[in-house]
Structure 1
Protein backbone atom coordinates (compact mmCIF):
# COMPACT_ATOMS: atom_id res chain seq x y z
CA UNK A 1 0.00 0.00 0.00
CA UNK A 2 1.42 3.38 -0.96
CA UNK A 3 1.96 6.13 1.59
CA UNK A 4 -0.94 8.15 0.15
CA UNK A 5 -3.33 5.18 0.37
CA UNK A 6 -2.23 4.48 3.94
CA UNK A 7 -2.86 8.10 4.89
CA UNK A 8 -6.29 8.02 3.23
CA UNK A 9 -7.20 4.79 4.99
CA UNK A 10 -6.21 6.39 8.29
CA UNK A 11 -8.26 9.52 7.56
CA UNK A 12 -11.32 7.47 6.62
CA UNK A 13 -11.04 5.41 9.80
CA UNK A 14 -10.96 8.57 11.94
CA UNK A 15 -14.43 9.82 11.08
CA UNK A 16 -17.86 8.58 10.12
CA UNK A 17 -17.76 7.05 6.66
CA UNK A 18 -20.42 8.11 4.22
CA UNK A 19 -21.20 6.25 1.03
CA UNK A 20 -22.81 6.96 -2.33
CA UNK A 21 -23.19 4.94 -5.50
CA UNK A 22 -23.19 6.33 -9.04
CA UNK A 23 -24.50 4.30 -11.97
CA UNK A 24 -24.82 4.89 -15.69
CA UNK A 25 -28.39 5.55 -16.86
CA UNK A 26 -28.34 6.43 -20.58
CA UNK A 27 -26.50 8.79 -22.89
CA UNK A 28 -24.51 11.11 -20.61
CA UNK A 29 -26.74 10.76 -17.55
CA UNK A 30 -25.90 9.06 -14.27
CA UNK A 31 -27.91 8.37 -11.13
CA UNK A 32 -26.42 9.06 -7.71
CA UNK A 33 -27.83 7.05 -4.81
CA UNK A 34 -27.49 8.95 -1.53
CA UNK A 35 -29.09 7.19 1.45
CA UNK A 36 -32.75 6.80 0.30
CA UNK A 37 -32.50 9.54 -2.32
CA UNK A 38 -31.79 9.61 -6.02
CA UNK A 39 -30.15 12.48 -7.90
CA UNK A 40 -29.57 12.44 -11.64
CA UNK A 41 -26.88 14.35 -13.51
CA UNK A 42 -26.68 14.91 -17.25
CA UNK A 43 -24.89 17.12 -19.76
CA UNK A 44 -26.32 19.87 -21.95
CA UNK A 45 -27.44 18.76 -25.41
CA UNK A 46 -24.45 20.57 -26.95
CA UNK A 47 -22.14 18.23 -25.00
CA UNK A 48 -23.89 15.02 -25.97
CA UNK A 49 -26.43 14.87 -23.16
CA UNK A 50 -30.18 15.32 -23.13
CA UNK A 51 -30.11 18.26 -20.66
CA UNK A 52 -32.47 16.38 -18.33
CA UNK A 53 -30.67 17.35 -15.14
CA UNK A 54 -27.87 19.56 -13.81
CA UNK A 55 -24.28 18.72 -14.65
CA UNK A 56 -21.94 17.38 -11.97
CA UNK A 57 -20.16 20.76 -11.97
CA UNK A 58 -23.45 22.60 -11.44
CA UNK A 59 -24.22 20.30 -8.50
CA UNK A 60 -20.75 20.98 -7.10
CA UNK A 61 -21.40 24.74 -7.12
CA UNK A 62 -24.97 24.20 -5.90
CA UNK A 63 -23.67 22.17 -2.95
CA UNK A 64 -21.61 25.16 -1.86
CA UNK A 65 -24.55 27.55 -2.26
CA UNK A 66 -26.99 25.30 -0.41
CA UNK A 67 -24.49 24.69 2.38
CA UNK A 68 -24.11 28.45 2.81
CA UNK A 69 -27.91 28.81 2.83
CA UNK A 70 -28.24 26.04 5.41
CA UNK A 71 -25.68 27.64 7.74
CA UNK A 72 -27.36 31.03 7.32
CA UNK A 73 -30.75 29.53 8.12
CA UNK A 74 -29.45 27.77 11.22
CA UNK A 75 -27.84 31.01 12.41
CA UNK A 76 -31.11 32.90 11.98
CA UNK A 77 -33.12 30.25 13.81
CA UNK A 78 -30.58 30.08 16.65
CA UNK A 79 -31.03 33.81 17.17
CA UNK A 80 -34.83 33.76 16.96
CA UNK A 81 -34.91 35.42 13.55
CA UNK A 82 -37.07 34.51 10.58
CA UNK A 83 -35.68 32.77 7.52
CA UNK A 84 -38.30 34.44 5.32
CA UNK A 85 -36.53 36.15 2.45
CA UNK A 86 -33.27 34.25 2.94
CA UNK A 87 -31.72 33.26 -0.37
CA UNK A 88 -28.32 32.72 -1.93
CA UNK A 89 -27.32 33.66 -5.46
CA UNK A 90 -24.21 32.12 -6.96
CA UNK A 91 -22.18 32.82 -10.06
CA UNK A 92 -19.21 30.76 -11.14
CA UNK A 93 -16.62 30.79 -13.86
CA UNK A 94 -14.81 27.88 -15.42
CA UNK A 95 -11.04 28.02 -15.87
CA UNK A 96 -9.84 28.72 -19.39
CA UNK A 97 -6.69 26.61 -18.99
CA UNK A 98 -6.07 23.01 -17.97
CA UNK A 99 -6.99 21.15 -15.92
CA UNK A 100 -10.74 21.63 -16.40
CA UNK A 101 -12.11 23.09 -13.16
CA UNK A 102 -14.21 25.79 -11.56
CA UNK A 103 -11.90 28.81 -11.31
CA UNK A 104 -14.04 31.26 -9.35
CA UNK A 105 -17.25 31.30 -7.33
CA UNK A 106 -19.08 34.34 -5.99
CA UNK A 107 -21.92 33.84 -3.54
CA UNK A 108 -24.32 36.55 -2.45
CA UNK A 109 -26.39 35.87 0.65
CA UNK A 110 -29.63 37.83 0.73
CA UNK A 111 -30.50 38.10 4.39
CA UNK A 112 -34.08 38.59 5.56
CA UNK A 113 -35.08 42.25 5.55
CA UNK A 114 -35.54 42.26 9.34
CA UNK A 115 -31.98 41.05 10.08
CA UNK A 116 -30.51 43.61 12.50
CA UNK A 117 -27.47 45.41 11.12
CA UNK A 118 -25.38 44.33 14.11
CA UNK A 119 -25.99 40.64 13.16
CA UNK A 120 -24.68 40.88 9.56
CA UNK A 121 -20.98 40.45 10.39
CA UNK A 122 -21.71 37.38 12.51
CA UNK A 123 -23.90 35.90 9.79
CA UNK A 124 -21.10 36.47 7.28
CA UNK A 125 -18.61 34.71 9.56
CA UNK A 126 -20.92 31.74 10.06
CA UNK A 127 -21.69 31.17 6.37
CA UNK A 128 -18.03 31.41 5.41
CA UNK A 129 -17.38 28.34 7.56
CA UNK A 130 -19.94 25.95 6.10
CA UNK A 131 -18.77 22.38 5.62
CA UNK A 132 -18.49 22.57 1.83
CA UNK A 133 -16.54 25.84 1.97
CA UNK A 134 -14.23 24.36 4.61
CA UNK A 135 -13.71 21.35 2.34
CA UNK A 136 -12.64 23.63 -0.50
CA UNK A 137 -10.28 25.64 1.69
CA UNK A 138 -8.75 22.52 3.23
CA UNK A 139 -9.14 20.12 0.33
CA UNK A 140 -9.73 16.47 1.15
CA UNK A 141 -7.42 13.79 -0.13
CA UNK A 142 -8.95 12.09 -3.16
CA UNK A 143 -8.07 8.68 -4.55
CA UNK A 144 -9.59 7.17 -7.68
CA UNK A 145 -9.26 3.43 -8.16
CA UNK A 146 -10.19 1.70 -11.41
CA UNK A 147 -10.97 -1.99 -10.92
Structure 2
Protein backbone atom coordinates (compact mmCIF):
# COMPACT_ATOMS: atom_id res chain seq x y z
CA UNK A 1 0.00 0.00 0.00
CA UNK A 2 1.25 3.46 -0.86
CA UNK A 3 1.99 5.93 1.88
CA UNK A 4 -0.71 8.39 2.89
CA UNK A 5 0.82 11.82 3.47
CA UNK A 6 -0.59 14.54 5.72
CA UNK A 7 0.96 17.98 5.12
CA UNK A 8 0.48 21.08 7.26
CA UNK A 9 -1.18 24.00 5.44
CA UNK A 10 -2.16 26.71 7.92
CA UNK A 11 -3.04 26.82 11.63
CA UNK A 12 -4.86 23.52 12.29
CA UNK A 13 -5.55 22.77 8.61
CA UNK A 14 -3.81 19.84 6.93
CA UNK A 15 -3.92 18.39 3.41
CA UNK A 16 -4.21 14.60 3.17
CA UNK A 17 -2.80 13.04 0.02
CA UNK A 18 -4.05 9.53 -0.73
CA UNK A 19 -2.96 8.20 -4.12
CA UNK A 20 -4.33 10.86 -6.51
CA UNK A 21 -6.87 12.21 -4.01
CA UNK A 22 -6.71 15.32 -1.86
CA UNK A 23 -8.70 15.71 1.36
CA UNK A 24 -8.65 18.47 3.93
CA UNK A 25 -8.83 18.07 7.68
CA UNK A 26 -8.86 20.69 10.40
CA UNK A 27 -10.21 21.68 13.77
CA UNK A 28 -13.09 24.17 13.41
CA UNK A 29 -12.37 25.69 16.84
CA UNK A 30 -9.17 27.13 15.34
CA UNK A 31 -11.22 29.45 13.12
CA UNK A 32 -11.30 27.42 9.92
CA UNK A 33 -13.58 24.76 8.58
CA UNK A 34 -11.80 23.49 5.48
CA UNK A 35 -12.75 19.88 6.15
CA UNK A 36 -13.82 17.33 8.72
CA UNK A 37 -11.95 16.71 11.94
CA UNK A 38 -9.78 13.59 12.23
CA UNK A 39 -12.42 11.93 14.43
CA UNK A 40 -15.10 12.71 11.86
CA UNK A 41 -12.87 11.07 9.24
CA UNK A 42 -12.49 8.01 11.46
CA UNK A 43 -16.26 7.70 11.72
CA UNK A 44 -16.68 8.40 7.99
CA UNK A 45 -14.14 5.69 7.18
CA UNK A 46 -16.09 3.15 9.21
CA UNK A 47 -19.44 4.27 7.73
CA UNK A 48 -18.05 4.15 4.18
CA UNK A 49 -16.68 0.65 4.73
CA UNK A 50 -20.01 -0.49 6.18
CA UNK A 51 -21.83 1.05 3.21
CA UNK A 52 -19.59 -0.84 0.79
CA UNK A 53 -20.22 -4.19 2.49
CA UNK A 54 -23.95 -3.48 2.88
CA UNK A 55 -24.30 -2.59 -0.80
CA UNK A 56 -22.38 -5.68 -1.86
CA UNK A 57 -24.59 -7.87 0.35
CA UNK A 58 -27.81 -6.35 -0.97
CA UNK A 59 -26.70 -6.79 -4.58
CA UNK A 60 -25.59 -10.41 -4.03
CA UNK A 61 -29.02 -11.22 -2.57
CA UNK A 62 -31.05 -9.51 -5.29
CA UNK A 63 -32.16 -6.67 -3.02
CA UNK A 64 -32.10 -3.20 -4.59
CA UNK A 65 -29.11 -1.17 -3.40
CA UNK A 66 -30.02 2.17 -4.97
CA UNK A 67 -30.19 4.98 -2.43
CA UNK A 68 -28.46 3.02 0.35
CA UNK A 69 -27.23 5.31 3.12
CA UNK A 70 -25.14 4.72 6.20
CA UNK A 71 -25.16 7.38 8.89
CA UNK A 72 -22.47 7.52 11.54
CA UNK A 73 -22.21 9.29 14.90
CA UNK A 74 -19.48 9.21 17.50
CA UNK A 75 -19.37 10.22 21.14
CA UNK A 76 -16.30 11.13 23.11
CA UNK A 77 -15.32 9.47 26.35
CA UNK A 78 -16.46 11.74 29.18
CA UNK A 79 -13.28 11.31 31.22
CA UNK A 80 -10.99 11.78 28.22
CA UNK A 81 -12.31 14.06 25.48
CA UNK A 82 -9.42 12.95 23.24
CA UNK A 83 -10.81 9.45 22.78
CA UNK A 84 -13.87 8.09 21.01
CA UNK A 85 -16.04 6.10 23.41
CA UNK A 86 -18.60 4.85 20.88
CA UNK A 87 -19.46 4.93 17.21
CA UNK A 88 -23.04 4.20 16.11
CA UNK A 89 -23.85 3.35 12.51
CA UNK A 90 -27.34 3.50 11.03
CA UNK A 91 -27.64 1.45 7.83
CA UNK A 92 -30.59 2.70 5.80
CA UNK A 93 -31.55 0.61 2.76
CA UNK A 94 -34.34 2.13 0.71
CA UNK A 95 -36.36 -1.11 0.69
CA UNK A 96 -38.10 -2.97 3.50
CA UNK A 97 -36.18 -6.01 4.74
CA UNK A 98 -37.51 -9.06 6.54
CA UNK A 99 -36.07 -9.80 10.01
CA UNK A 100 -33.90 -12.54 8.45
CA UNK A 101 -32.62 -10.16 5.76
CA UNK A 102 -31.81 -7.57 8.44
CA UNK A 103 -29.84 -10.12 10.46
CA UNK A 104 -27.95 -11.29 7.36
CA UNK A 105 -27.15 -7.68 6.46
CA UNK A 106 -25.91 -7.06 9.99
CA UNK A 107 -23.66 -10.13 9.71
CA UNK A 108 -22.29 -8.85 6.39
CA UNK A 109 -21.20 -5.64 8.09
CA UNK A 110 -18.96 -7.69 10.39
CA UNK A 111 -16.64 -8.26 7.39
CA UNK A 112 -15.79 -4.57 7.08
CA UNK A 113 -11.98 -4.31 7.47
CA UNK A 114 -12.21 -0.92 9.19
CA UNK A 115 -14.48 -2.47 11.82
CA UNK A 116 -12.30 -5.55 12.29
CA UNK A 117 -9.19 -3.35 12.52
CA UNK A 118 -10.72 -1.12 15.20
CA UNK A 119 -11.86 -4.14 17.20
CA UNK A 120 -8.39 -5.72 17.05
CA UNK A 121 -6.66 -2.59 18.43
CA UNK A 122 -3.87 -2.45 15.85
CA UNK A 123 -0.33 -1.80 16.99
CA UNK A 124 0.60 1.79 16.11
CA UNK A 125 4.10 3.20 16.00
CA UNK A 126 5.71 6.38 14.75
CA UNK A 127 9.10 7.21 13.32
CA UNK A 128 10.43 10.75 13.62
CA UNK A 129 12.58 11.57 10.58
CA UNK A 130 14.44 14.81 11.13
CA UNK A 131 16.15 16.91 8.45
CA UNK A 132 19.43 15.10 9.20
CA UNK A 133 17.75 12.02 7.67
CA UNK A 134 18.22 9.82 10.72
CA UNK A 135 14.96 8.08 11.64
CA UNK A 136 14.07 7.72 15.29
CA UNK A 137 11.33 5.26 16.25
CA UNK A 138 8.86 5.74 19.05
CA UNK A 139 5.97 3.60 20.19
CA UNK A 140 2.72 5.53 20.05
CA UNK A 141 0.21 2.98 21.30
TM range (shorter): 0.7 to 0.9
So what's the TM-score if we normalise by structure 2? Answer: 0.83
Could you list the runs of 5+ residues in structure 2 that have no partner in the other structure?
130-141
Offset at residue 115 of structure 1 (A): 3.6
- Structure 1 stretches of 4+ moved >4 Å: none
Q: Which residue of 1 aligns with 2:112?
A: 130
- Tell me the C-alpha RMSD between the 2 structures: 1.6
1:73 aligns with 2:50: no
Question: In the comparison of the two structures, how many residue pairs are matched?
Answer: 129
- Spell out, residue by residue over 1:64-85, the C-alpha distance to the aligned partner (whole angstroms, 9 max, x if none): 1111111000111112221123
So what's the TM-score if we normalise by structure 1? Answer: 0.80
**Contact 2:2–2:19 under 8 Å retained in 1:** no
Offset at residue 146 of structure 1 (A): 1.8
**Contact 1:21–1:32 under 8 Å retained in 2:** yes
Could you list the runs of 5+ residues in structure 1 that have no partner in the other structure?
1-16
